[in-house]
Chains A and B, each alone.
Chain A
Amino acid sequence: MSGRTLERRDLLRASAAVGGGLLVAFWFPASAEANSLALPKDFVPNAFVRIAPDGAVTVIINKAEMGQGVCTSLSMLVAEELDADWRRVGFEFAPVDPVYAHPGFGIQMTGGSTSIGGMFEPLRKAGAAARAMLVQAAAKRWNVDASECRTEKSTVTHTASGHSATYGELADAAAELEAPKDAPLKDPKDFRLIGRSTKRLDTVAKIAGTATFGLDVSVPGMLTAVVAHPPVFGGKAKRVDSAAALRVAGVVKVVEVPSGVAVVARGFWAAKLGRDALEIEWDDGANAGLSSEKLRADYAALSRTKGLTARHDGDPDGAFAAAKQVLEADYELPYLAHCPMEPLNCVVDLRTDSCEIWAGTQFQTVDHAAACAVAGLKPEQVKLHTTFLGGGFGRRANPASDYIVEAVAIAKQTGAPIKLVWTRTDDLRGGYYRPMWHSRIRAALAANGALAGWAHTIVGQSFIVGTPFEPFIIHDGIDGTSVEGSADTPYAIPAVHVDLHTTQVGVPTLWWRSVGHSHTAFVVETFLDEVAHALGEDALALRRRLLAKEPRHLAVLERAAGAAQWGTPLPAGRARGLAVHGSFNSFVATVLEVSLEHGRPRVHKAWTAIDCGRIVNPDGIVAQLEGAVGFGLTAALYSEITLRDGCVEQSNFHDYPMLRINEMPDVEVILVGSHEPSSGVGEPGVPPVAPALCNALFALTKKRIRRLPIRREDLTA
């Protein structure tokens, strides 16, 4: 498959880039074809910014805007060095082009909470280069020395001569100049935008309903496709009777594609009614017998055997042999759907020698390559437009490009532009879940009260195996995303053993907001609470002791605990719990205050402190952390995808509920400033939430929750 080849080539470049420093793969093209919507009179210094004669500054966003605020924070990076008038700064989403590749991963993508960290320098350089050209153009025009010119609010000024010109006025002259190779960057102390809370650039469009998401795209003559997917993963349609579907008014065609049977109709409703009317006999295939209960038992049994070693420090066997007390526990986490509010969709306008695609995607390079392969077209014949994403959480970064491939496959057989629409049920049953996990974990407590040994066996699927990412993420059989957050635990424990069983189950899995940390943080942070309880030590005190050499963990821990007044008395029926976890180079500590209402957990307040290095947009970070609390609580309280007879049981929000506003706690976010490089913000807030909640519930009820989501009976039994 040519798509696969392209991915590999790109990823090889990524590996070279990683080896030689993050920014090797980044370059400014001499011509800026990639800045594709530029008009003839625009000043286009590079692929990331252009300035129109009227002074409008447009930043080209090479990331998916799925709520994390990149269209604002990335624009700030350019505007800072450009000294642009922020009121004239707008943005648009980048086309697919190697120039827009992730500087670390080598493909155009959004994930791993790396957008700001990865683009911090490149975008500043893009802004600085543009500014230098504008200054040079002004100096030339006024016949003065460029070093004597100042810039502010999209204006170049030469004080001595009294000259001044706006960027718009200088645009055409600047366009004649050569881009400088290394325009100097500002000293951070001179930042005017970076570090200041800046309103999102996409709010107005989003609340007016004018922001274009994938599902909002419409092209002339477009039909809508709704697909009947096999009820069991890997199943195939054996016999399709489409007569009744074709009788539904508005239904145009029924087409079989590798992923199912598509009904193509004028509008969604006809397509959906048509799909409901399909009569399909499925060959369920090898996964017909899958059941969550059976998997749980299998995983539990596996967890009693030795897996591949992910970490081995000191002498764990000796520590356990010499222990005064050994704690052991099993922790279980379910499959989780990402469940973005905008169901998956894709618009495809396929012609004989061209293809245009509109989709909310986190994975442009991969999706583009996959679309080329299915369409049978050359890369230059296929255009992929990135729209706003109505949520991603990892689901729209799929190495298999499932909804893109499906849409192109349907378009190939339709002869008209099509919009593929998944319903909520399709989304919940369509696979690519956060894997189900089982952890067997043990702690050796020495006679002197020390935590002397730690052993963690992890059982679950890898979503990296079989993808082009395998060579970069899997080493010696260990998928780094399966053990992250455990194998790299920062706690000072003299003997640590972490091992992994990678299972093979026919359920498609994928990264889900915070990836491996979404399960390891729950296990490690809850079990550490068990250790504290066994030692009779305060949970904060124990962490302080074990993190003495981890200043960034400690700092967020102290700040969150301090804000929550950890250790002070609470009214009867209330309790606090805490957790701290580092992920994506950021550090987050969270304290939750809970009670029980009608036997269900009620979270009243969350305090969450983050150190994410240098802060770009403080209020944007606050928003991500607030949201992470809600997202983490949803998973802890409600979320579970289960299988019975090979079929997913959940179908909509009634059985895959989301936290609602009446259940949302008040959230206090504490930004711990640091001069470290900017690091992740979108994901790191999620991992500490579930353990903080369960630790608080233990303090309240003395019931230890070791399986998510929390069940009512686990709190009362």
Chain B
Amino acid sequence: MKLAMKQAAWVRWCASGAAVLAVVVVAVQCNATTKWAGADARSAEARVAWQTVYKVLQHPRCVNCHPAGDAPLQGDDSHVHAQNVQRGADGNGLFAMKCAACHQKSNLAGAHLPPGAPNWRLPRADEPLVFEGRTSSELCRQLRDPKHNGKRTPAQLLEHMANDPLVGWGWHPGVGRERVSIPRDELVRAMKAWIDGGCDCPD
């Protein structure tokens, strides 16, 4: 039953996925159309891979912009952003406190200065994509559910993690911020493995 729902979701994803990494397209198509021998092994692999993905997504560099509340978080201790910054409907902040009021397209030289990357923002208010406080299982299910992942196909999710410069900032966070400890290519490999394995999630 669970599997059937999942496959339906895959199909929808496939239909909507336009410009995607070739390898993902292949994986998604394969997975969506057939259930071949060895699928169980793949899904076991997926679950292992997911643990890597989860570790990255729980890093302060990721959590801080995927908060549970409507305020971004700051710092390696993920404290609520000073200055009462609010998400706003589109995730770009509010009024004189839009993200771009302070955050540039790249980091500024020096400590305690606003970090920067292109399109610095939070998820939209109607799709908050919360990472903060999510268990491995919760976050996994959230990520594969288009209703709760920003209507993204697996390909688009992979694209976000592999190529979005805002995500990439997590590995180049500037002075005084811990970078994401797992290398980005490892995250991408784990993402692919998770998707290839059917986006299986831990209980």
Contact = CB atoms under 8 A, between A and B. Distances in A.
B84 interface: yes
Interface in B60-85: 82-84
Nearest to A661: B84
A301 B84 CA distance: 41
A654 interface: yes
Contacts of A657: 82
A276 B84 CA distance: 31
Contacts of B110: 276
B101 to A, nearest CB: 15
B84 A654 contact: no
B72 to A, nearest CB: 15
B106 to A, nearest CB: 18
Contacts of A660: 83-84
Nearest to A654: B112
A653 B83 CA distance: 10
A197 interface: no
Nearest to A663: B84
- Residue with the greatest number of chain B CB neighbours at <10 A, chosen from A276, A654, A660: A654
Interface in A652-674: 652-654, 657, 660, 662
A478 B4 CA distance: 85
B84 A652 contact: no
A651 B110 CA distance: 12
B112 A651 contact: yes
A704 B112 CA distance: 34
Contacts of B112: 651-652, 654
Interface size class of A (residues with CB under 8 A): under 10
A651 B83 CA distance: 17
Given A651-B112, A652-B112, A654-B112, A662 B84 contact: yes
Contacts of B84: 660, 662
Interface in B77-121: 82-84, 110, 112
Interface string B8-44: 0000000000000000000000000000000000000
**Secondary structure of the B contact surface, majority rule:** helix
**Secondary structure of the A contact surface, majority rule:** loop
Interface residues of B, number: 5
A276 B83 CA distance: 28
Interface in A258-277: 276
Contacts of A652: 112
Contacts of A651: 112
Nearest to B74: A654
Interface string A194-209: 0000000000000000
A339 to B, nearest CB: 16
A208 B84 CA distance: 27
A662 B110 CA distance: 28
A654 B176 CA distance: 13
B70 to A, nearest CB: 13
Interface in A41-58: none
A271 to B, nearest CB: 15
Nearest to A273: B109
Nearest to B80: A598
Nearest to B110: A276
A669 B182 CA distance: 56
A651 B113 CA distance: 12
A276 B111 CA distance: 12
A686 B84 CA distance: 25
B108 to A, nearest CB: 13
B74 to A, nearest CB: 9
Contacts of B82: 653-654, 657
A564 B110 CA distance: 48
B1 to A, nearest CB: 41
A653 B82 CA distance: 10
A657 B84 CA distance: 13
A652 B82 CA distance: 13
Interface string A424-443: 00000000000000000000
B76 to A, nearest CB: 13
Contacts of A653: 82
Interface in A288-326: none
A597 B197 CA distance: 44
A662 B82 CA distance: 11
Nearest to B69: A598
Interface string A639-652: 00000000000011
B127 to A, nearest CB: 25
B87 to A, nearest CB: 15
A403 B97 CA distance: 34
B105 to A, nearest CB: 20
B67 to A, nearest CB: 13
A654 B81 CA distance: 10
Contacts of B83: 660
A559 B176 CA distance: 50
Contacts of A654: 82, 112
B183 to A, nearest CB: 29
Contacts of A276: 110
A654 B83 CA distance: 10
B81 to A, nearest CB: 11
A628 B109 CA distance: 37
A121 B110 CA distance: 54
A94 to B, nearest CB: 38
Nearest to A652: B112
A379 B82 CA distance: 48
A662 B83 CA distance: 9
Interface string B114-151: 00000000000000000000000000000000000000
Nearest to A598: B80
B115 to A, nearest CB: 13
A637 to B, nearest CB: 13
A606 B84 CA distance: 22
Top 3 nearest A-B pairs by Cβ distance? Answer: A662-B84, A654-B112, A652-B112
Interface of B: 82-84, 110, 112
10 contacts: A276-B110, A651-B112, A652-B112, A653-B82, A654-B82, A654-B112, A657-B82, A660-B83, A660-B84, A662-B84
Given A653-B82, A657-B82, 8 more contacts: A276-B110, A651-B112, A652-B112, A654-B82, A654-B112, A660-B83, A660-B84, A662-B84
